[in-house]
Structure 1
Amino acid sequence: MIRSAILFLALLCVTQSASAEGFISRLLHHPVPGGVAVLDLGPADTTPSARYQDKPVLVIKEDGSRWIAIVGVGLTVKPGAQQLQVKDAQGSRTLAFNVTGKKYAEQRITLKNTQQVNPNAANLKRIERELAEQTRAYQVFSPGTPSNLLLDKPVNGPLSSRFGLRRFFNGEERNPHSGLDFAVPAGTPVKAPATGKVLLLGDYFFNGRTVFLDHGQGLISMFCHLSAVDVTLGQAVPRGGVVGKVGATGRATGPHMHWNVSLNDARVDPAIFIGAFQP
Structure 2
Amino acid sequence: MKLLFKITLFFTLAISGTAFAFPQSNPVPGGIVLLPLDNNHIASTARFNKRKLAVVSDDKAKYLLIGLSLNTKPGKHYIEIRNNQGKTEKLGFDVKSKTYKAQYLTIKNKRKVNPYEKDMERILSEKKRKAKAKKIWTTDPTKADFTVPVDGRISSIFGLRRFFNEQARRPHSGLDIAAPQGTPIKAVESGTIIESGDFFFSGNMVYLDHGQGLISLYAHMHTITVKPGDKIEKGQIIGTVGETGRVTGPHLHLAIIANRTTVDPLQFLPQLSEKAAEYYKSE
Deviation string 1:124-161 (CA, Å, 9 cap, x unpaired) is 221111011111101111111223x2311100122110
**Could you say which structure has the larger radius of gyration?**
1
CA 1:266–1:48: 2 relative to 1, 3 Å: same
- Trace 1:229-248 onto structure 2 (pairs within 5 A): 229-248=224-243
**What is the aligned counterpart of 1:70 among 65, 70, 74?**
65
Task: Tell me how large the CA RMSD over aligned residues is.
Answer: 2.1
CA 1:256–1:127: 2 relative to 1, 3 Å: same
- The equivalent residue for 1:157 is 152
TM-score (normalised: structure 2): 0.85
**What is the aligned counterpart of 2:205 among 210, 219, 240?**
210
**What is the aligned counterpart of 2:91 among 72, 95, 99?**
95
5+ unaligned residues in a row in structure 2: which ranges?
Answer: 1-16
**What is the aligned counterpart of 1:127 among 110, 123, 134?**
123
3-state secondary structure, aligned to 2:100: coil
TM-score (normalised: structure 1): 0.86
Which runs of at least 4 in structure 1 moved beyond 4 Å after TM superposition? 22-27, 44-48
Deviation string 1:72-116 (CA, Å, 9 cap, x unpaired) is 001111112211111232331111111111111111111122221
Deviation string 1:219-273 (CA, Å, 9 cap, x unpaired) is 1000010110001110000010011100000101110011000000110000110
Once the two structures are TM-superposed, the CA of residue 46 in structure 1 deviates from its matched residue by: 5.9
Give the whole-Å Cα distance in 2 for the aligned partners of 1:42 and 1:156. Answer: 38
1:58 aligns with 2:54: yes
1:38 aligns with 2:38: no
The question of whether the paired residues in 2 share the 8 Å contact of 1:49 and 1:59 is answered with no
Which letter does structure 1 place at the counterpart of 2:133?
A: A
The question of whether the paired residues in 2 share the 8 Å contact of 1:180 and 1:260 is answered with yes
5+ unaligned residues in a row in structure 1: which ranges?
Answer: 1-21
1:193 aligns with 2:191: no
3-state secondary structure, aligned to 1:128: helix
CA 1:199–1:25: 2 relative to 1, 3 Å: closer
Identity of aligned residues (%): 38
Give the whole-Å Cα distance in 1 for the aligned partners of 2:214 and 2:81. Answer: 19
The count of residues paired between Structure 1 and Structure 2 equals 256
**What is the aligned counterpart of 2:267 among 261, 268, 272?**
272
**What is the aligned counterpart of 1:145 among 141, 161, 180?**
141
